[in-house]
Amino acid sequence: MTVTRYALVLAATMAACGSSGPTTGGTNGNVTMTDQNNYTSMSTLNLPVVQTKAAADLSISWTAVMKDLLCHPAASIDNVAFLKVPNMTKDQIQTALAEGTLVASQVSKYYEWRTSGATSTMLSSLKFGGAIDVMNDYTESASTQYLLLFTHGTVQGVGAQAMLLLQPSASSANTTVAAPDACSSNVLASFVPTFGTPLTVPKAGPYTIDWSKLTKDSFGHPIQFQNIDQVEVAYYQGKTTADLMAHFLDVEIDATSLYAAKISPAGQKFFDLTGAKTTAGTAFAGFTETDGAWALALRCSSCSVPAPVAFTVLQPQ
């Protein structure tokens, strides 16, 4: 389960995960997940700040990015984005990025550059409906934040591998920006998950999970059901619930078996787990293993924060 609710990570939300509200009425599964089962989380970001010359073209490189925000090996940097966010302090933008609440209406300027395998570029190369106007778009301001986002993939706000804040200053002569490794610079300063009540599921099936009664994500923000597009069920041999909580950032790579499936149509709030498969094509066949822990995650691949929208430990009975 790609996890990280911090997001982290992740990123500069150009499309927020707001809410369509909870579902009323009955459910469509034999197992119902509620807010009591979902995890809660607290996270903080500490973005590096690079002071540079104001209203100047900058040389930007990212060769030092070897690990991502979760301290996992970084994927390829496919896109570099520049966001100008007025009327926001450093603390405010860090909180918005950590919780995935930065929305497009808060961003006054957005420019990007597809790397095509390159490891450096000039700020003036970034475009989006026209080229960046360095003289006017990058000026000294105490109330404006300038974010550089380095992403894997080219979907706006998704797949952040590293990020930093630029600080234009009339007193600076620096025109070089080298993105630091997200792990070594400790961008994700902290992430503390707290698990909810385990979700009881039948050992013998059926295995249809209904999440229509969920109302909020781990940060307490309303859920937008149409953005939940993947369900994952994972088994961790020899692991306990405490182990999963202690190493939550690694729950995807630590899984002994991971079964996943896309949710279709968009907005569907239930799923039969027998439709989930491993990457090798093996279908979920029930809770046959008993010497470890089982868990379920609901994910949003288009959200800026890649952590699960919902996560719960399963308790087969």
Q: What is the pLDDT of residues 56-69, one digit of tens each?
A: 999 999 999 999 98
Are residues 238 and 173 part of one domain?
no
Are residues 148 and 196 part of one domain?
no
Work out the average pLDDT over 154-170. Answer: 91
Work out the average pLDDT over 26-41. Answer: 93
Domain holding 110: CATH number?
A: 2.60.40
> pLDDT digit string (tens) for 38-58?
999 988 899 999 999 999 999
Tally of domains within the chain: 2
Are residues 131 and 180 part of one domain?
yes
Are residues 176 and 197 part of one domain?
no
Instruction: For residue 130, tell me if it sits in a domain.
Output: yes
27 pLDDT band (50/70/90 cuts)? Answer: confident
Residue 128 has pLDDT above 90, yes or no: yes
- pTM of the complete model: 0.81
Instruction: For residue 8, tell me if it sits in a domain.
Output: no
Instruction: For residue 171, tell me if it sits in a domain.
Output: yes
- Of the listed ranges 45-54, 142-151, 167-176, 247-256, the least confidently predicted one is 247-256
Cβ neighbourhood burial of 126 (10 Å; 0-12, 13-18, 19+): buried
pLDDT for 3 equals 31
Are residues 169 and 285 part of one domain?
no
Are residues 101 and 215 part of one domain?
no
pLDDT for 43 equals 86
Instruction: For residue 19, tell me if it sits in a domain.
Output: no
Residue 13 has pLDDT above 60, yes or no: no
Q: What is residue 273's DSSP assignment?
A: G
Are residues 146 and 114 part of one domain?
yes
pLDDT for 203 equals 95
Q: What are the helix (H) ranges across 114-267?
A: 134-137, 241-246, 251-254
Instruction: For residue 5, tell me if it sits in a domain.
Output: no
The residue from 186, 214, 241 where one domain ends is 186
Are residues 54 and 36 part of one domain?
no
pLDDT for 301 equals 85
8 pLDDT band (50/70/90 cuts)? Answer: very low
Residue 132 has pLDDT above 60, yes or no: yes
The residue from 149, 166, 186 where one domain ends is 186
230 pLDDT band (50/70/90 cuts)? Answer: very high
CB atoms within 10 A of CB 18: 13
Residue (of 305, 253, 315) closest to 41 by Cα position: 305
The C-alpha atoms of residue 295 and residue 136 are separated, in whole angstroms, by 50
Average per-residue pLDDT in the chain?
Answer: 90
Residue 193 has pLDDT above 60, yes or no: yes
User: In angstroms, how far apart are the furthest CA atoms of the chain?
Assistant: 69
Residue 5 has pLDDT above 70, yes or no: no
Instruction: For residue 260, tell me if it sits in a domain.
Output: yes
The residue from 186, 208, 237 where one domain ends is 186
Residue 304 has pLDDT above 80, yes or no: no
Instruction: For residue 259, tell me if it sits in a domain.
Output: yes
Residue 151 has pLDDT above 90, yes or no: yes
Are residues 177 and 71 part of one domain?
yes
Are residues 55 and 36 part of one domain?
no
pLDDT for 26 equals 67
CB atoms within 10 A of CB 196: 18
Residue 6 has pLDDT above 60, yes or no: no
- Asked if 50 and 108 touch (Cβ cutoff 8 Å), the reply is no
Work out the average pLDDT over 236-251. Answer: 94
76 pLDDT band (50/70/90 cuts)? Answer: very high
Are residues 177 and 200 part of one domain?
no
pLDDT for 188 equals 86
Range of the structural domain that residue 290 is part of: 31-42+192-316
Work out the average pLDDT over 145-159. Answer: 91
Are residues 182 and 53 part of one domain?
yes
Work out the average pLDDT over 18-37. Answer: 72
Residue 21 has pLDDT above 60, yes or no: no
> pLDDT digit string (tens) for 253-300?
999 999 999 999 989 999 999 999 999 999 999 999 999 999 999 999
Residue 303 has pLDDT above 90, yes or no: no
Instruction: For residue 294, tell me if it sits in a domain.
Output: yes
